[in-house]
Structure 1
Amino acid sequence: MHVAVERVLFWATSCGLAIAMGAACAGGVGKPSSATLWDELKRFAGNKVDMLDAYEQLHSRRWEGSASNTYQLLSMSDAMLGRYDQAQQEMYSAFRNTASPLPPCPNDLGSGSFDQWLMTHAGKFDLVMINEAHNQPMSRALIYQMLPIMRRLGFSILALEALPDEATTAWINQHGYVPDEAHYGFYLREPIEGEVVRRAKRLGFTLASYDIFSKDRELDEARNLARILKEHPGQKVFVVAGYDHVRRMDGRMAELLPKLYGKPFLSIDQLGKGNDVMRSACAQDSALGANEGGATLASMRWKLDGRGTDVTVFRTGSYSLDRAAAKGSDWLSLGGDRWRRRFSTGEGCGKSRVCLVEARGAGQPADAVPVDRYLALEGEHFADLYLHSGNYVMTYRSASGAVMRTTSIAVHESSQPH
């Protein structure tokens, strides 16, 4: 992801910070309006009343400047609202890529599953880092599943690139959840990232921020990680970084870290070619084992050495970003922790052309990032959400941003779409 785009998403509504996006934030040539792309992004991230109107403005107008930057920003807005398939299509447009057929897995895969490898080897290190794709929450589904293993191996600090500053981090450490508010930007407010944070806190992790948008960002990230390790002797740190920061090459954080941190550390790549998590999937030769599916760590394979990393993860079988797909959407269960439930947008939002459906645990604060959410657009009559067993408060918002309906439901393991 382009650094200018990361800056906008990271500090989406920090009005005191001037972010130079250049022509990419200039006015559009479609629907007449003085609002810029930057203005609409701030409205989108600002509050629920403006969010859906701003979303429609973002996606209906033509914006001047870098088409790649614009598509990346649109992709993040779709990911934040659970429209993962649309987010993927926008990333394809940003980088002029297309979906590719499922390739065969490499012949030199390591023996056993990724979870077996992780449990055997990760505990040998005090620092383990893995990458994620900010616009592809499928990558966060893997991190969610890694958390209990890493905790059992003695890791107690979770350093997230998504955390914007120490004050925000301290608040989340104290309260155990991420508020669905403008200050928390795009990354933390995506529902699966919210799930990662909640699970980490339940498991006893302390969150730590280390990223900084400086002139020497890679070096400063490495310095901050080295500082965290020095300030917490004897504790193990699990790092989640974006894209290429984990690669020991091209002046990236992982290449610079050994000059500041004298011990060996482990770097894991879970993204496919072009940092596209969909390209990390492969069809496993039947002689090597079945394509188990289920999107669990047990169904994933591994390979030593990668493009600047120590280990590369491969997902076996087909994956789909369509929530309602009969096959391939089970990654949204987060390893079998959640079940799909279908909700009628007509019952929730009446005749509104769009409907935002959100589910929060009955015990969650009303301002928390929801367990899941989906924005159904015109012509979509259902929202498929993935929920844990338990009680939930459902909210339905119309195109105006107003809450049209609030209901309470209970979800059980045997729940099926209805």
Structure 2
Amino acid sequence: MQFFQTLPKTTQYLRCVASLLFLMLTSISITHAESMPDTPLQVSPKTDRLKDLNKSIKYAEDINASKTLDDRQKYFIVSQNFESVASDESMIGDVFGAMNQYGKYNKYLEERELKKSNSRSNLNSRETSVTEDIQHQIQEATVQDAIEVIVNEAKHRQIVILNEAHHVPMHRAFAMLLARELKKIGYDYLACEAFTNLGSTPPLAKGYVSEDSGIYTRESMYADFLREAIQSHWKFISYEPTERAREYYMAKNLVDRIFKQNPKAKVFIYVGYAHGNKLPKSEDENDRSMMAAQLQKMTGINPLTIDQTTLFQQYVNKIQIAAYNEAVKSHQIEKPSVLITPQNTYLKLGHNFLSGEAYDIQVIYPTYENNPETGRASWLESMAGLNPENIPSKLIPKKGKRLIYAYSSKEPADAVPVDVVLVEAGKPIPKLMLPKGNFRYAFED
């Protein structure tokens, strides 16, 4: 602190106090602040996302190359690891990479089933295209805005259940838009599968989304969804159980934490994949029914259930991608939408489990591209409402890859970053996609 010695004592004291507060509140070192005066910089991020991704990829490569594991063992391990890699891709802001990774996983499963069935030609012919009947249904359908359709139905319901694919941040942007409208019509509780279950301590008790709020909540778009929900004064509920009968205890936790205290509560439940299935119906706690069916049995309330994990541009299976491609070819879909039949029912495509009453509504997405001006997915602007901003020039790497983290300057050091983007020396520089506000930055090489 020798450079303070020429100042008056009072000024020295105030300068020292201000410096200490500055360091504590923003985790900025004097060295970094001096070398990058216009770029508030954290010493390091509170997470190692690039390192996590590289570990997941290396683990998958090692498993595939293993000579000590049989095919069944490899299948079990790879099945778990594919989702991990896809999720890690989403955590570094690579939304298309995450979908491609999971698409590879789905193709891997199909190939395994083909080998197992030993009837490649029959299975291929059955799954490569939609039937004429489905094609006709798609072409006859009309397109309506998904948010408007769901909110109109939700006015007459008490529970709304929306699913997501855990590696697709786009689904969280849609959840954010839906929550915004549900709040206006009296929905008050937001229950998320992704929340860390802390028992009697409610989720987000810190008042912000921290790295320990949950696993998938560490992804920036999920955190943006929850930041808006905090500002809108939702009541947050965790319900992920530790017991083995997972679906039953998910539903029981929701009953115990919401409906026993407030039987008339209006609840938005955000789940992963098939937890929102209402079929098969629940008979007992150990049957094959999913959380939505268990919850309906326990409460007597018929929830409004929405699937958004099928009709988007990721490969799920051959019939799914064929149905999706037929739908976007037949209709001009510019935003998340719902297909309505001439009989005024909701058309559902792509998976057998979506037939009948398993889900009430299915969302279809446009085919989003990478915006060449930002180097990022176009939905980040059109749906999430984020603004492209330049990465501070002094953070651009001169060699190799660097992960850039942008944090809200209002949030503590353990908060989830507002955006994360990967930059590679010598390649086009993507933009950060940010809401309005002030930010500090960190990076990981």
Output the TM-score relative to the length of structure 1: 0.71
Matched residues, percent identical?
A: 24
Query: 1:142 and 2:140 equivalent?
Result: no
- In the alignment, which residue of structure 2 is the partner of 1:112? 144
Shift of 1:243: 0.1
Contact 1:166 1:208 in 2 (8 A): no
Query: Which one of the candidate residues 227, 245, 257 is aligned to 2:275?
Result: 245
Query: 1:357 and 2:397 equivalent?
Result: no
Of 116-125 and 48-57, more deviation after overlay is shown by: 48-57
Shift of 1:266: 0.8
Of 231-240 and 159-168, more deviation after overlay is shown by: 159-168
Query: Which one of the candidate residues 411, 422, 439 is aligned to 1:375?
Result: 422
Contact 2:403 2:443 in 1 (8 A): yes
Contact 1:68 1:95 in 2 (8 A): no
Aligned length: 339
- In the alignment, which residue of structure 1 is the partner of 2:122? none
Query: SS of the residue aligned with 2:217?
Result: coil
- In the alignment, which residue of structure 1 is the partner of 2:300? 262
- In the alignment, which residue of structure 2 is the partner of 1:390? 437
- In the alignment, which residue of structure 2 is the partner of 1:209? 238
- In the alignment, which residue of structure 2 is the partner of 1:177? 208
Shift of 1:239: 0.3
Spell out the pairing of 1:8-407 with structure 2 (5 A cutoff): 48=46, 50-60=48-58, 62-64=61-63, 65=74, 66-96=77-107, 106-107=138-139, 109=141, 112-166=144-198, 170=202, 172=204, 174-180=205-211, 183-227=212-256, 228-250=258-280, 251-272=289-310, 282-283=327-328, 285=330, 290-291=332-333, 293=334, 295=335, 297=336, 301=339, 304=346, 306=348, 307=354, 308-315=358-365, 317-320=366-369, 322=370, 324=372, 329-333=377-381, 335=383, 337-343=385-391, 347-377=394-424, 380-393=427-440, 395-399=441-445
Q: Deviations over 1:20-72 (max 9, x none)?
A: xxxxxxxxxxxxxxxxxxxxxxxxxx974755444334334523242232222
Structure 1 residues 277 and 369: CA distance shift in structure 2, 3 A: farther
Contact 2:209 2:416 in 1 (8 A): yes
In the alignment, the residues of structure 2 paired with residue 351 and residue 328 of structure 1 have an alpha-carbon distance, to the nearest angstrom, of: 21
Contact 2:259 2:265 in 1 (8 A): yes
Shift of 1:311: 1.0
Could you tell me which amino acid in structure 1 is paired with residue 362 of structure 2?
A: T
Could you tell me which amino acid in structure 2 is paired with residue 264 of structure 1?
A: N
Structure 1 residues 210 and 107: CA distance shift in structure 2, 3 A: farther
Contact 1:127 1:238 in 2 (8 A): yes
Structure 1 residues 90 and 378: CA distance shift in structure 2, 3 A: farther
Could you tell me which amino acid in structure 2 is paired with residue 304 of structure 1?
A: Y
Structure 1 residues 312 and 366: CA distance shift in structure 2, 3 A: same
Bigger-Rg structure (1/2): 2
Structure 1 residues 157 and 115: CA distance shift in structure 2, 3 A: same
Name stretches of at least 5 consecutive residues in structure 2 with no aligned partner: 1-43, 64-73, 111-127, 281-288, 349-353
Shift of 1:312: 1.0
Structure 1 residues 212 and 376: CA distance shift in structure 2, 3 A: farther
In the alignment, the residues of structure 1 paired with residue 228 and residue 315 of structure 2 have an alpha-carbon distance, to the nearest angstrom, of: 22
Contact 1:169 1:208 in 2 (8 A): no
Contact 1:353 1:398 in 2 (8 A): no
Q: Deviations over 1:53-99 (max 9, x none)?
A: 4433433452324223222211111111111122122212222269x
- Higher helix share goes to which structure? 2
Contact 1:374 1:385 in 2 (8 A): yes
Q: Deviations over 1:229-255 (max 9, x none)?
A: 222233200000100011122411122
In the alignment, the residues of structure 1 paired with residue 100 and residue 373 of structure 2 have an alpha-carbon distance, to the nearest angstrom, of: 16
Could you tell me which amino acid in structure 2 is paired with residue 215 of structure 1?
A: R
In the alignment, the residues of structure 1 paired with residue 165 and residue 437 of structure 2 have an alpha-carbon distance, to the nearest angstrom, of: 29
Structure 1 residues 362 and 257: CA distance shift in structure 2, 3 A: same
Structure 1 residues 376 and 301: CA distance shift in structure 2, 3 A: farther
Q: Deviations over 1:247-278 (max 9, x none)?
A: 12241112222221112221111121699588
Output the TM-score relative to the length of structure 2: 0.67
Please give the root-mean-square deviation of Cα atoms over the aligned residues, in Å: 3.4
In the alignment, the residues of structure 1 paired with residue 223 and residue 182 of structure 2 have an alpha-carbon distance, to the nearest angstrom, of: 18
In the alignment, the residues of structure 1 paired with residue 261 and residue 313 of structure 2 have an alpha-carbon distance, to the nearest angstrom, of: 32
Shift of 1:170: 2.1
Contact 1:144 1:334 in 2 (8 A): no
Shift of 1:205: 0.5
Could you tell me which amino acid in structure 2 is paired with residue 367 of structure 1?
A: D
- In the alignment, which residue of structure 2 is the partner of 1:416? none
